[in-house]
A and B are shown apart, each in its own frame.
Chain A
Amino acid sequence: MVRPYAVTGGRTEPADGEVLTLLTVLVATGRPLPTDDPARLAPEHHRLLGMCGRQMTLADLAADTALPLGVVRVLVADLTELGAITVVAQRSTDKQTGNVLQEILNGLRAL
């Protein structure tokens, strides 16, 4: 059994940057990781980066890796800082419109 925060080097707060909410969508940028400092990255970093080959929410990443949310938040912030992952901006106005609610209703009825 490995203590969850061992992979973050004991850090429980992400590095400064964008606030990562449960439904923040993340994606790999394709930018290569720096080769000069590979020891800094844990296998979990690489695993998360691989999962971000397609767009994923922070909550999905935590559930799929079975890592605590706080750990994933720290690791994702590391990868964002390195430019390997970026936040996919959601169009917040789009989320508020009746059209989206109607789409959700149609989708639920079709289930």
Chain B
Amino acid sequence: MASARSDTHGGAAAVPAFTAHKILVAGGFGAGKTTLVGAISEVRPLQTEEALTTASIGLDDLTGVGRKTTTTVALDFGRITLGARIVLYLFGMPGQERFSFMWDELAYGALGAVILADVRRLGDCFPSVNYFETRRLPFVVAVNCFDDAPSYDPQEIRQALDLDPSNPLVLCDARDVASVKSVLITLVETIASRRSARPGPGRGRTAPPRSPASRLGQ
């Protein structure tokens, strides 16, 4: 809204010019996360740094030569402006378990997730499926239909992933904007139906204690 834009110097009581919403795009290495985010938004890398160790800095200058204390992780990051006051942010979430230290912060406040699956390496998306099921965050499994991949019956893939019926599985082409759009619409419809079916997030079923999201990029 124009009035909100012009009020950006309003000090402590700045009026939000837009609301920011987050959707995660998870999946194994090479499943097509970058392609999917890039198909629907201008994708930019987001550099994060993670300390590998904090105990040795400054203590051990001679023996510590060449010791790597941080690792850099670049996430895919896309922004989609929807109308005047809504911005949807897509964050690529590296699905390998060695990146699990950053999952909680990425998932913090997220509406839901798209888990990209490659039928040739279906096991690569198991950690993501487990993570979102445990967090009870709505997700859609999008099977990226690579040209040279064998075709499977979606029902077979559902069974192989042991998916809860509340989580849709769709076929997609991560390169195609219409296909990606359709995946995102399916996800948001899933989120909306879950919210109307179960008002008040955090009720029902077994909810594990949430660990505070804090580690990423510090």
Contacts and interface: CB of A to CB of B under 8 A. Distances in A.
B46 A59 contact: yes
B82 A104 contact: yes
A101 B192 contact: yes
Contacts of A95: 19, 21
A40 B16 CA distance: 30
A94 interface: yes
Nearest to A13: B218
A70 B49 contact: yes
A57 B89 contact: yes
Interface residues of A, number: 50
A10 B47 CA distance: 17
Interface string A97-111: 010111111111111
B46 to A, nearest CB: 5
Contacts of A62: 46-47, 217
Nearest to A26: B14
The majority secondary structure among interface residues of chain B is mixed
Contacts of A28: 8-9
Contacts of A109: 181, 185
B47 A68 contact: yes
Given A27-B14, A63-B46, A109-B181, 13 more contacts: A22-B22, A22-B216, A30-B9, A55-B16, A57-B89, A68-B47, A70-B49, A90-B20, A103-B86, A105-B192, A107-B80, A107-B86, A108-B184
A-B pairs, 4 with minimum CB distance: A107-B82, A69-B217, A30-B9, A70-B217
Interface of A: 4, 12-13, 19, 21-23, 25, 27-31, 53-55, 57, 59-60, 62-64, 66-71, 73, 86, 88-91, 94-96, 98, 100-111
Interface of B: 5, 8-9, 11-12, 14-22, 40, 44-49, 51, 72, 77, 79-80, 82-83, 86-89, 91, 105-106, 108-109, 111, 177, 181, 184-185, 188-189, 191-192, 195-196, 201, 213-214, 216-218
